[in-house]
Structures are given as structure tokens and as C-alpha cells.
Structure 1
Amino acid sequence: MKSIEKAAGKIESAHSEDRCSRYVLHVRNQKQVQTLLALKKLIDGTTVEINYHRTLNTCKCVVSSFDLIHMSEEDLLAEWKGHKVTEVQRITRPTLDGGREKTNTLILTIFGTTIPEHLFVGPIRIPTRIFYPAPMVCFKCLQYGHTKTRCKSKEVCPNCSKSAHVAEGERCVEPAYCRNCEGPHSASSRDCPAYKIEKEIMRIKVEQGISFNEARKNYNARNAPTSFANIVKESTSTIKT
């Protein structure tokens, strides 16, 4: 790290990822960013590759306006390209005939770490708001922090949390049981204490512009000395009584 700072100046902060196989550098000076991106070798001759982080250099916001309902995502992307908008995704909702219909709400991906207070379409001023993703949950094992494609656990029933025992389309008649908090509800319940904790961790991640693992550490530190497991058990105990 000292070699990096000799080449590009003092780094605001840094942390390792993927078991120390790489480092994330936090800088705010644009000139320093360009110096780092151009850096191929350290002073001692060590070859390095420095790129923009795959997630921490973008943020998302939400816009909602009936003035946007008839505009395509491609047209809106072209309209907002000067505001560093790199992706426009329209929210749709199911219809009674099994199809999908457009809504007036869109999720925007912006290259940068802050969102604009508003955007314009012609003379129309449209306010933005922060987008908070839902907690990452695996629909195979029902646990948080990974997705089904990376899950190595056995599939469980989404209602009772036992080994998968109902065919697709059928309904489990066992009492609801959450494997994350041991409460009397399905693992998908929005009232689950574990879900609320994961939602708060996601809020910290978005608002502080940090990785998910960092956000979890910050949450645990903020709630120390009570551990994650104890928080869930205490919340569950409250529910059961």
C-alpha cells in the first residue's frame, strides 16, 4: 500500500476483498483516480491491474412520473446520458390475463457515488429517491447472503423449512416455521426479525456506499455486544410471547 501511495498520493482508505486477493481503494480526487487507472507497475516493479470496482462506483435511484409512461427506456437513457445514467429499467406489474403492464416507475443506474436530486425531461422536473434493493435471499435453502445459483445446500420447503417435500404448484400443510429466526412464519415473511436485520444492513450498504460485508460488520459493531444470532433469538422470543 505504501508503494501505491508513493505513486498516486495518499489513499483515503482501503480494505481487502476475496480473501486478500485484491484491494479496494477509496479515493475522491478525480486526478488521483486517473493516475491509479494508468498505473501498471509499482515502484518495486510489481505488476498491478487497477480497475473501477464492479459495484461500488455505481448507485441506483428511483423516479416516478406519469409523464414518463409513454417514453421508452432507450429514449430516457439517451435523455439522461449527460447525468451519467447508464441503465434505465422500468418496473412492470402483472395483469389479470397473465401478462405484464408498464408502470410510471423506473430504476436508474448512475455511474458515480451520489444520485442527483432531480432529473429533467424537457422542461419537466422529476425528483429522484434512493433505491434500496431487497435483501439477497436464496430460494433454495432460504438463507440470506447468497442466491440459488451459488447455493450448495439442500433445497427446503419455503413454508415449514423442512426438506423439500411438495411438488411444484402444491401447498405445504405443515405449520409455518422460519429457519432464519425459528419463528412461526414462513422464511419469506416481511415481519421476520432476520429479514428486518438484513433490510437494515442493505440500507447501510446503500447509504454509506460500501460492500455488503462491510455493511454487515458495521451493523454488528453498532449492535455489539449483542450478536446477530442473539438479536434474532430475542426478537423471536418477543414474537412468541
Structure 2
Amino acid sequence: MGSKRKKRKADDNCSPENSRDVDSPDSDSSMDEDKYKVFKIDNYCRQYPEDGGNFEYIVIYESTDTRPLGDRDLMSLGACLKRQSKGIKRFKRINKYKVGAIFERPGLANIALNNTKVQKDLHVKATIPATLTEITGVIKNVPIYMSNKSIYNGISSSRDVVSVRRFMRRSRDEDGNTSFLPTQSVAITFACPTLPTNVHINSWYFEVSAYTPPVTQCLKCLRYGHIGKFCKNTQRCSICGENHHFKDCTKNSTEAVCLHCNGNHIAISAECPIKKKKIQENKIKHKTVPFSSLFNEKSFPSLNTKTKPTDNINTLLQNDDFLKLIIASVIKIISVNKTDDSPLNSEGIKNIILDTFKISSTNTN
């Protein structure tokens, strides 16, 4: 009896310090170097859901040897893939390293993804774009003593969680040494194309907001849209713009000339007006927009007093693209309702419809 009372007393004396030992068996209370490492679930492979609601399913094939796919006989490659994989509607060249195969059904695309023998024989690897099967959201006010792993272990969500990553803030001390400090914002990637409105961590409610990825800029050639790992361009200096590494530059930062705007700053500076424009465009691109703003005035006939409401509805129903989007939304709603533990509400249905029309609008552009 005495031991039980003592245990209850310890439990009643709850504080953040005490709760760390309870909630964090993976050494959250220690300064483990892997504490803030991106946590990803083991053996995860992207696949299309059977009731995805898309009209075509693309599988990306990339060369695994030194020779780019663009240097091969693409006609022979396509013929081999069609012999070994069912349901391929057509192919398209993405770049000289990648080609895409569009499948009729999600199950056939998933089979092609898992056909390692064909990939080995043809010296290619198969993947599907993350944007078609995953989505990332952000939650805030997560205690910094929690590791990414303990956050994942404590998450309860209507969607499967793929990875957890805490945002880190760059900091410099008086000696100029750089370190990264944890923030209370955490990015969560879900294995679905629609973002849930909330998650629970250890029974605490967290609202999920849309994630806007940073602008991609190559640190080798300093251009936008790719990273240095895949860059084949010439090295450029971020200080003077010449063909050498910035560490070999004889000029200091006060003499910098931006490669993009000729301003007095380095080419990767956030003060660059070109970069500011790219950041603004990126925010607009990933912003969740109202349903009405997905279309312009030319998309559908305007309403007028001489036209009956039923006439406008009939016009919409005769539009094949509009009907396809409605059907895709219904399929997604049915799929989510089957797989989710929580009942589907009007807000969830609205988000699915908005997401379907937003994806369609992005693909059209």
C-alpha cells in the first residue's frame, strides 16, 4: 500500500521535467545528437491508394547506371516496359535522366513499382512523385525537449504519418560559430494527398496548417529550381559571380555583386529582389485558395437575370472536365470515409473537393 501511495504522489507532482522521463523513453531528456534528426518510418514505399480518384497514375523511371536514359533507345525501352508491365497508356520524357510511364489504374502502377526484376534488368529504378501521394503540414507549440521519434510515437491522426521533422533555427555566437537550435514548429508528412485539419499528440490537440517549402536555389551555379547535388552547371561565386568557389574569392562581402540583380549583396541573400519575388511566387503557388478563385470568368458562362439557375446547372453538367473533378472528389470522399476512424464532417468533405480542384488547376497551368 505504501509503495502505491508513493507512486501516486510522484505522479501528482507533474512538471515538464518529470513528464520528460515518462513521455520520452528514447532519451528525450538527454542531448542525444539524433534527437532532432528527421524521423522516417521504416520500410516505407510510396504507393497509390486503390481509391485515389486520379485519372492517370505516373511511375518515374530513372537510370541507375552512368548512362542517362536520354542516351538510350527510348522506343526499345518503352517496348520492354510494356511487355513486362500491364496497363501502360503512354510514356513521356521528363528529362534526359528520367522518363514517365502513365498507367490506367493505381494497382497496376503499384505492381510496376514493386517489379524489381524488370528494374534490375533495364538498369532503372521506379518511383512515384511525392506530390501525388504525400502532403506535409505544420504544427506549432510542440515542446522542444520532445524528439522527432517521441512526437511520432505520440501522434494520433486520421492519416498515416510518414515522417516528422522539427524546424531548426540558425544561430551564431560571439565568435562567429554557427549552430542550429530547435524551434517549437514541427513538419509532419502524411501518406495521403489531402491535409488533415488536426492531429493529437499524447491527447493534446494541434491544428495542422499548410506547409510552404522554401525556394530552391543551387549553391553551385546559384540558379533557382534545383540543388547542387544534381547540378551539371559551372561553379559560380556567390560574392562576385565569377567561375570559382566563394571560399576562393578575393573580395569580401562589402564588395559583393549579386549575380541576379547586380545589387550590393551576395547572390543567396534574402535581400535580393529576385529572391524576394521567387519567395512570393512560392507562397502563392502553395497557398490554399477558395473554390471560387480556381476559375476565371471565362471558365463558365456568367449568370444573368435572363438565365434560369437550372440552365446554368445543366451547362456545368455538360462540361466533361467539371464532371470528372466531381467524380474524383466523390471517390476520395468514399475512400476517406472507409479508412478513417473518425466520422467525415462537412469541413473534411470541403477540403477534399478543394484539394481535387486545386490539383487539377495546378496540372492545367
TM-score bin, normalised by smaller chain? 0.5 to 0.7
2:244 maps to which of 164, 173, 178: 164
Report how many residues are paired: 192
Residue 154 (structure 2) aligns with: 79
Whole-angstrom distance in 2 between the partners of 1:146 and 1:166: 19
Q: Give CA-to-partner distance per residue, 1:124-143, whole Å, 9 cap, x none.
A: 21112211111111111111
Return closer, same or farther for 1:114/1:185 CA change in 2, 3 Å cut-off.
Answer: same
Letter in 2 for 1:176: A
Structure 1 segment 100-139 matched on structure 2, within 5 A:
100-139=180-219
Write out aligned runs for 1:35-46 (5 A): 36-38=109-111
Structure 1 spans left out of the alignment, 5+ residues = 1-7, 41-50, 219-241
Q: Percent identity?
A: 20
Hey, what does 1:48 align to over in structure 2? Answer: none
Q: Summarize deviations over 1:145-192 as a string: whole Å, max 9, x none.
A: 221122223322212212337636975257432222444443223243
Once the two structures are TM-superposed, the CA of residue 18 in structure 1 deviates from its matched residue by 1.7
Whether the 8 Å contact between 1:118 and 1:127 is mirrored in structure 2 is yes
TM-score (norm 1): 0.61
- Tell me the amino acid that sits aligned with residue 88 of structure 1: V
Take 2:178 and 2:271, find their aligned partners in 1: how far apart are those partners? 28
Which segments of 5 or more consecutive residues in structure 2 lack a partner in the other structure? 1-50, 59-91, 114-125, 288-357
Aligned to 2:55: 12
Alpha-carbon deviations, 1:105-130, whole Å to 9, x = none? 21111111222122112332111221
Give me the CA root mean square deviation: 3.9
On the 8 A contact 1:160/1:174 being kept in 2, the answer is: no
Structure 1 match to 2:260:
180
The question of whether the paired residues in 1 share the 8 Å contact of 2:238 and 2:259 is answered with: no
TM-score, normalization by structure 2? 0.43
Q: Is residue 115 of structure 2 the alignment partner of residue 33 of structure 1?
A: no
Q: Contact conserved, 1:157 with 1:164, CA < 8 A, in 2?
A: yes
Higher helix proportion (structure 1 or 2): 2
Q: 2:122 maps to which residue?
A: none
